[in-house]
Structure 1
Amino acid sequence: MTTKRVVLITGAGSGIGAGCVRRLAAPGTAMLLHTRRNAEGLDRVAAAARMAGAEAVTMLGDIGDAALPAALVARAMEEFGALDVVVTAAGFADRTPFAQADDAIFQKSIDGVLWGFLRTARAALPHLMGRDAPRIIAISSFVAHVFRTDVSTFPASAAAKGAVEALVRALAVEAAKGGVTVNAVAPGYTRKDPGAHAALSQAQWDAVTAKIPMGRLGTPDDVAEAVAYFASPAAGYVTGQVLHVNGGLI
């Protein structure tokens, strides 16, 4: 069994997931990195992790596929023989207004966000229990908290992310007996990678930036710093929490 700290990160091909890889990659770390289909992007992220001294293997698949989360955990165990940290960053934003969102719109968010987290955590938990500083960290979103007429709402995403946060709190209670902490990071508006799909137009990005007290969008690295704290030994007595990284947006 490896003596390295083994980290599984979903949604690692770009954005916040890739930022988490950059922040957590280090000598003595082994990483299983996942993305849905951006193999080229994931390969670049994995190469950067290796340059930082980590081991890294990659795996593709839709996190909304019921079988994939368990397959990711099984691959981590096969490759490295252990699992210490799980970061679920896979997801997407859906701005479809409530009145226009049919069942399929809501189901897509529930499958990709809530079930993706639930199934990954369920598969990982038995392997995390009793490890040294085991961690589960979900990436949530401000959309589950900010509801204003001057800020876009994301009904399907809000429902899914809000459910993830409730599950984080419930799981934190049950997992504590094995020393596993379970927390979430809720980013605010966060800058996309160049060329990446964005839910907002440039004009809309400019408008929302003006509403952020700190006067700028967040970056994936801002979010990754919060994830790194939750993943660290320093956060060993912090569980069931949601840390907002949003520049003061309320």
Structure 2
Amino acid sequence: MPGRLVVVSGGGTGIGKAIAATFAASGDRVVIIGRRREVLEKARSDIGEDRIHVMAADLRDPGQVERAGDRIAALGEVGVLVNNAGANATPPTDDSLHALSAAWRHDLDTNLLTAVLLTSALRDRLARPGGRVVVISSTAAQRGGTGAHSYGSYAAAKAGLHGWSLGLAKELGPAGITVNVLAPGYIAGTEIFGDTADGAFRSRKRDDTLVGRVGTPRDVAAAVDYLASPDAGYLTGQVIGLNGGAVLGR
């Protein structure tokens, strides 16, 4: 129902920004949370909604997440939590195991721990019944680390979200809270691929689909909007592909 409190991590750009705009347009109050306050403020200005609340925090830092959780709790009961924060794989700085370990720890913290910490901080504030948790993963979790994700850490972190989310769905289901994972394929207009997303790259991603086009942030926002709706109350504990048929269902 409109008027819920919605929390979107990584809400300043791309997919997160589109999700925040969709909920705000429906009359919900939306907290967008991420590391870069200036990016969040620009998103708030672009969306043009008084219902957007900006909260700057590094979600890899337990202390910052705890403080952010307290501030969010002061706003009221959380109807929807969208764990969207993440980043592409970090290449090791050299060939040593120390560099490999540092790169993997960074990527696991950025793509997996952020969701675990924020959800844990807000768990007791989720609406009961009717709360919704949506976790944004990636087809990399299903395909393995390839191409831009060849270091493996990104795919492993996203796959970790799947197992964690399915367990969370079991725990929260009796309270009437649903938990689902959305695994998008290539989505244009995001920061995750950076300068690697040239015309040839996008063409390959388009040709990889069955529908002949790449995804958009709006495609993801529309799917999240449904998963967060009252009509989706019987849908929980699922990993849902959103990839134009690039990865077929299993």
Task: Supply the AA of the counterpart residue of 1:42.
Answer: L
Question: For residues 213 and 230 of structure 1, what CA distance do their matches in structure 2 show?
Answer: 23
Shift of 1:129: 5.0
The CA RMSD over aligned residues, in Å, is 2.5
Task: Return the alpha-carbon distance in structure 2 between the equivalents of residues 106 and 95 of structure 1.
Answer: 8
Tell me the distance in 2 between the aligned counterparts of 1:148 and 1:75. 37
In structure 1, what is the equivalent of residue 59 of structure 2? Answer: 63
Partner of 1:26: 25
Post-superposition Cα deviations, 1:32-67, rounded to whole Å, max 9, x if no partner, equal: 111221x3432232235553xx62210112221222
Give percent identity, aligned residues only: 32
Structure 1 window deviating more from structure 2 (16-25 vs 141-150): it is 141-150
Distance 1:199 1:162, change over 3 A: farther
Partner of 1:122 in structure 2? 120
1:30 shift after superposition: 1.2
The 3 A distance-change label for structure 1 pair 113 and 148 is closer
Q: Which structure 2 residues correspond to residues 36-185 of structure 1 after superposition, within 5 A?
A: 36-37=35-36, 39-51=37-49, 55-78=51-74, 80-94=75-89, 96=91, 102-128=100-126, 130-131=128-129, 133-147=130-144, 153=150, 155-185=152-182
Cα deviation per residue 1:105-125 (whole Å; 9 max; x = unaligned)?
110111111111111111111
Name the counterpart of 2:221: 224
Residue 190 of structure 1 aligns with an amino acid whose one-letter code is I
> Mean Cα displacement is larger for which, 104-113 or 61-70?
61-70
CA contact 2:140–2:146 (8 Å) conserved in 1:
no
Distance 2:155 2:192 in 1: 21
Cα distance in 2 for residues equivalent to 1:67 and 1:28: 31
Contact kept, 8 Å, 1:96 with 1:155, in 2: the verdict is no
Deviation at 1:72, TM superposition (A): 2.5
Unpaired segments of 5 or more residues in structure 2? Answer: none
Q: Distance in 1 between matches of 2:40 and 2:147?
A: 35
Q: CA deviation at 1:93?
A: 1.4
Q: How many angstroms does 1:177 deviate by?
A: 1.5
Q: Provide, for residues 9-33 of structure 1, a one-character-per-residue CA deviation record: whole Å limited to 9, x for no partner.
A: 1000001101101111135411111
How far residue 69 of structure 1 moved from its aligned partner, in angstroms, is: 2.7
TM-score, structure 2 as length reference: 0.86
Q: Deviations 1:172-192 (Å, cap 9, x if unpaired)?
A: 001011111111110101102
Distance in structure 1 (CA, Å) of the matches to 2:90 and 2:218: 24
Distance 2:86 2:149 in 1: 18
- For residue 11 of structure 2, what is the aligned residue in structure 1? 12
Count of matched residue positions in the alignment of Structure 1 and Structure 2: 241
DSSP 3-state at the match of 2:68:
helix
Residue number in structure 2 paired with 1:208: 205
For the residue of structure 2 that corresponds to 1:102, the secondary structure is helix
